[in-house]
Structure 1
Amino acid sequence: MEARIAATDWSPFENALTRDGYAVLPALLTPRQCREVASYFSQEERFRSRIMMERYAFGRGEYKYFGYPLPDVVRRLRESLYPHLAPIANRWHSAMHIDERFPATHSEFREVCHRAGQQRPTPLLLRYRPNDYCCLHQDLYGEHVFPFQAVFLLDEPGRDFEGGELLLTESDPKKPGRAEVVPLRQGDAAVFAVNHRPVRSMRGFYRANLRHGVSKLHRGQRHTLGIIFHDAR
């Protein structure tokens, strides 16, 4: 897993991420790892809270936030992806004239969050069943927001489920908005902007606002692992 992350060519990845607001890392998890992580959903001791989306008008479905200590595979993904994303995050913040800069390691950034009272872990496991969906939203949680997050698809579309596509929308103050379906296979990770991305203009850069959600599931069951790098209040 760490070897596949280290072997990624991060320059074209950054270009795609900046251009589109998202980029895909294919086959980052093996089918066996996907099944292992999906199996955590029934292990209540691993989680700090359980959310029924319909209750809060978030959509329909269920997700659970992991508690500390995180499962080993979740911790390793968080810690191994972060050092590659932090330099991109710093370049984005510089372009958008946002003051915050991110340290080199996730442990250092987690300390920044914890000193600010953001001490609850945010990686989460989601389960969708027929007719479940997730409304468009942003995962912000506090003062310190890392500008990227990752979603890992743990089931195979067409075999395990139908529907349930990852959706991204962008609101651009200078042109009509857009929506996109992000195609994923089992084990793929989509890395996307948490709240906005820099867009070049004649006068420099401005911010386009992004949201993400999941379309209605038509058949089967869909599990996803969400890796959010900042912790919550």
Structure 2
Amino acid sequence: MNSAVSRPRESASAIEAAEKRIGGYDWTALASNFDDYGCAVLEKLVTPEECRELAALYPHEEHFRSHIHMARHGFGRGEYRYFRYPLPDLIAGLRTALYPRLAPVANRWNERMGMDTRYPPRHADFLKACHDAGQVRPTPLLLQYVAGDFNCLHQDLYGDLAFPLQVAILLSEPGRDFTGGEFVLTEQRPRMQSRAEVVPLRQGDAVAFAVHNRPVQGSKGNYRVNLRHGVSRVRSGMRHTLGIIFHDAR
């Protein structure tokens, strides 16, 4: 239990490097995409070399706290591993640097949906709240798919405290490393059929997206829509993805 509750320690250099690359995006335009579609793409967030290094971690169990085979749980086909603390520097830095860019979006959404929850500006403060509530297990994960694998539509909610946005980074190159395997986001609006958004990604691109709910402006004000995400069937090759979830789990 002691290893589970140890506080994450991100290096200052990793955070500084991540903040520099995160700061290069047009966050005003990205915020507009979040409001319009529930997701936004950060192109080339991670370099091809970094993608290969992250994907190469998958077979090495010392980096991970658990190993999930999706078929055993009805999640689809494929597998993933949850990282243990301390996280690799690149992942820890990106998680810390992305959070304060996304927290204002989350707070604005909650205000529009009439929800009282507000998120602190620093990720460390949000993690402390998670840990104080008994959510102490790290949630960043590395996913691996081969031909025939897919990820059912789902929501990554691991406890009472859940940050409403998360990030997935494609580590493999479509058309070279794999075919198929598109990232899919679905949105269910009240009394309407679900809408699907297929998000095209290249190696190193990240998609930030709504985990559970987001507000939509209607004729009578804002209303809440429900979102799920997944991955379509991989038709050939192998696909690796890094998932960055900002809340920790029970």
Q: Same fold (TM over 0.5)?
A: yes
**Hey, what's the Cα distance between the residues in 2 that align with 1:100 and 1:196?**
13
* Superposition deviation, residue 204 in structure 1: 1.9
1:187-226 equivalence runs, <5 A: 187-226=204-243
Deviation at 1:98, TM superposition (A): 1.1
Secondary structure of the corresponding residue to residue 23 of structure 1: strand
Counterpart code for 2:131: H
In the TM superposition, residue 49 of structure 1 has moved relative to its aligned partner by 0.4
4+ residue stretches of structure 1 with deviation over 6 A? none
User: How many angstroms apart in 1 are the aligned matches of 2:27 and 2:191?
Assistant: 29
Aligned residues: 233
* Unaligned residue ranges in structure 2 (runs of 5+): 1-17
1:174 shift after superposition: 4.2
Report the secondary structure of 1:176's partner residue.
Answer: coil
The one-character-per-residue Cα deviations of 1:183-223 (angstroms, maximum 9, x if unpaired) are 00000000000001100122321111000001110111000
TM-score, with structure 1 as normaliser: 0.98
Partner Cα distance (2:148, 2:193) in 1: 30
Q: Provide the residue aligned with 2:245 in structure 1.
A: 228
**Aligned match of 1:78 in 92, 95, 99?**
95
Q: Distance in 1 between matches of 2:133 and 2:241?
A: 29
Please, which of 57, 72, 84 is the counterpart of residue 55 of structure 1? 72
Among 33, 36, 41, the alignment partner of 1:24 is 41
Aligned residue in 2 for 1:118: 135
Q: Deviations over 1:54-107 (max 9, x none)?
A: 000100001000011111111001001001111111101100111111111111
List per-residue Cα deviations over 1:127-160 (Å, max 9, x = no partner).
Answer: 0000000000000111111010000000100011
CA distance in structure 2 between the aligned counterparts of 1:80 and 1:54, rounded to whole angstroms: 34
CA–CA separation in structure 1 for the residues paired with 2:168 and 2:230 = 11
CA distance in 2, matches of 1:4, 1:47: 26
Which residue matches 2:27? 10
Q: CA deviation at 1:8?
A: 1.1
- Residue in structure 2 matched with residue 155 of structure 1 by the alignment: 172
Percent identity, aligned pairs only, is 58
